[in-house]
Structure 1
């Protein structure tokens, strides 16, 4: 063989090395890579996924936020047969069916059931009384005294008052005062609007407070604000 003849070369891959078909593991790896790319949207013309915005929640390490939420939704309950001696205060509502000897202060609604007995002053956002109260009642909103309700002290309300039971004391209401059938009020009343139904008894003087602004001012003066 002459020196001009070339020695046959093995087929190459362009890089000087022989072409090699991928083995079993190589084919599996290639298939896996393609599947991953397709799953990511690399091999298909798909729209990108949108992330749903998450609500911002207070951090678990923020006890102040938790206390604020709990206080805003707090409900104090005193069941039938329970006796509480001392003042009570809550930022939420209160439901009382037992006996309380002390003042009650709350920002929400006070509900006194028929079996409830309270000896002390009441300050609430609103109230419904079916039991007995021995002490002044002040509500920034509305107050209702049911047919079995008894209040033996003065009443002050920034909203409206409906009385179906018995009140022994003065009543000062910035809004409407309704004396329902069968109620008894032993004391003077002052109201922006007075509605007295047939069968209601008022043993005292009645005066109107004029405009709503004057009524609110008059009620505040009576409360010593």
Structure 2
């Protein structure tokens, strides 16, 4: 009851922190999609390069987030952005790359070669095949990668509060430093609810963007 009372009394602050959290994650995901999807498509042309790119992305995922933030601080400090929004954004973009690149690569590679042959037989160029055949077929798997990336970055963004990025992690860090279980639980529950809401929204979006034929087959 005390935690619930605390949450209700601080609802405006929770909403403000939620907006900060969503804006940070949203910007990171948009950048990750704009870079990760083209990379995933490009590496389908060379298996060796694909293995190396996926390997590097997997290594980045193994770096503890707090350590990644620590690496970025001395790099960005000379530019006046050692802590705060920018290093958090850069770290989240890197962490988002693996699920998006991997799912894009896997989706494109698993398209039935007969469909490509049929598209060639219709006189489509490589670019036309990509936009009109391959990407629509790969869309469900690509969006599944985006869903995974969003849930991951929502969780990591909570840790970014330790470098001054704000967000819902503020309640968690204050709860730990002040030994206040109310703030700790409020922050943890808020982050979890945000991740669930984002995942459900993207699941709905995934269904809407999946072509009716693929939806029926699935």
Could you tell me the TM-score, scaled by structure 1's length? 0.22
Bigger RCO of structures 1 and 2 (CA < 8 A, at least 6 apart)? 2
The structure with the larger Rg is 1
Greater percentage in strand: 1
Greater percentage in helix: 2
